[in-house]
């Protein structure tokens, strides 16, 4: 199968490229802004890869990117800034239209679990209170799903994403992985803290496994699907305990943080909560009961728990 991927040089994109190239029958077209970021590809892999170097907003106007493509995976996004809507919404819709016009039967695009409620419906609060990134993803879902009468449209909604590696070929860390490294020096203190909250985590390698499975097995030619990607939900306390263990420590809860303290803390400390931050504080259960991971499809899981995920990004033992 010939598959187009955008965002191939990012964390999730790199794992996805590796997963798809593991099947010798696949050929890939990679739309990237800087081809130099893909210099880690082996000579054997390059023989099955076409690179189209351009800005995401220009890709839809490059017909060579879509010739013979059967499926497209739209990973690239903008995390904020003045071009957030132009890239996350406008460019992705234009690329989806170009794929469909060229005969692709399956378009998979990445949104975020933040825009869905626990039943899998669009969460209106994400559009009302969300950051530019979250609101753009909300609008992307609304508009992408209108194309389901012309192709199979699969929305992928990652929860908190772990991933990245320093060993060659290196893959840059996900935002969540970077956060884990940033707070690691404070593991000795964090182990004393307890808080309300429930959420899901997923490894980028597991996202890639699920995405490859969907590309290779879905046969429907039209219709919509929404899939939240994540391991079974865990509580903040469970995650704190695993984080402590990964750093060679034991959790010993002394202080339980309460939602009611937030207003006081924001008055006495230099903390500025956005409307979306405030919404998340008021709704600590951010879990998605229907989340899927490779185990859902009988496939091996890279990160069955947080401890293994932390080990995969180099956090293991006391540091």
Q: Are strands 27-32 and 49-53 parallel, antiparallel or unpaired?
A: parallel
> What are the distances in angstroms from CA 183 to CA 63, 73, 303?
45, 33, 20
Based on its alpha-carbon atoms, the radius of gyration of the chain, rounded to whole angstroms, reads 20
Question: In whole angstroms, what is the distance from residue 134 CA to residue 114 CA?
Answer: 7
Question: In whole angstroms, what is the distance from residue 21 CA to residue 109 CA?
Answer: 19
Every domain of the chain and the residues it spans: 2-161+202-229, 173-200+233-287+303-312
Question: In whole angstroms, what is the distance from residue 276 CA to residue 279 CA?
Answer: 5
Cis before 169 (ω within 30): yes
pLDDT in tens, the chain (319 residues): 999 999 999 999 999 999 999 999 999 999 998 887 777 777 888 889 999 999 999 999 999 999 999 999 999 999 888 889 999 999 999 999 999 999 999 999 999 999 999 999 999 999 999 999 999 999 999 999 999 999 999 999 999 999 999 988 899 999 999 999 999 998 888 888 888 899 999 999 999 999 999 999 998 889 999 999 999 999 999 999 999 999 988 888 887 777 766 666 665 655 677 899 889 888 999 999 999 999 999 999 999 999 999 999 999 875 4
The fold of the 2-161+202-229 domain, in CATH, is: Rossmann fold (3.40.50)
Reported as a single tens digit per residue, the pLDDT across 43-53 is: 888 889 999 99
Question: In whole angstroms, what is the distance from residue 235 CA to residue 116 CA?
Answer: 19
Contact status, residue 162 vs residue 303, Cβ threshold 8 Å:
yes
pTM: predicted TM-score of the whole model, two decimal places: 0.94
Per-residue pLDDT at 319: 46
């Amino acid at each position: 199968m010939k598959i187009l991927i955008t965002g191939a040089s990012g964390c999730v994109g790199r794992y996805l490229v590796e997963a798809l190239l593991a099947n010798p029958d696949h050929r890939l077209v990679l739309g990237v802004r800087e081809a130099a970021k893909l210099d880690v590809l082996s000579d054997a892999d390059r023989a099955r890869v076409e690179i189209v170097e351009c800005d995401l907003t220009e890709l839809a106007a490059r017909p060579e990117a879509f010739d013979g493509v059967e499926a497209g995976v739209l990973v690239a996004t903008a995390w904020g800034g003045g071009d957030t809507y132009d890239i996350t919404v406008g460019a992705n819709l234009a690329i989806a239209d170009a794929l469909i016009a060229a005969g692709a039967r399956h378009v998979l695009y990445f949104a975020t679990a933040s825009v869905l409620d626990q039943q899998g419906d669009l969460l209106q609060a994400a559009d009302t209170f969300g950051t530019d990134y979250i609101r753009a993803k909300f609008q992307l879902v609304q508009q992408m799903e209108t194309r389901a009468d012309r192709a199979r449209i699969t929305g992928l909604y990652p929860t908190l994403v772990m991933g990245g590696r320093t060993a060659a070929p290196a893959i840059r860390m996900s935002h969540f992985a970077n956060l884990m490294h940033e707070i690691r020096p404070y593991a000795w203190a964090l182990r004393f803290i307890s808080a309300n909250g429930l959420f899901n985590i997923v490894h980028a390698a597991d996202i890639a496994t699920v995405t490859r499975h969907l590309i290779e097995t879905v046969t429907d030619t039209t219709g919509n699907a929404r899939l939240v990607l994540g391991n079974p939900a865990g509580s903040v306390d469970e995650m704190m305990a695993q984080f402590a263990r990964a750093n060679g420590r034991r959790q010993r809860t002394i202080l339980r943080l309460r939602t009611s303290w937030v207003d006081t803390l924001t008055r006495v400390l230099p903390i500025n909560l956005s409307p979306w931050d405030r919404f998340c504080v008021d709704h600590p259960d951010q879990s998605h009961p229907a989340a899927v991971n490779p185990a859902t499809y009988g496939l091996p899981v890279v990160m069955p728990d947080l401890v293994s995920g932390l080990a995969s990004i180099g956090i293991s033992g006391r540091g």
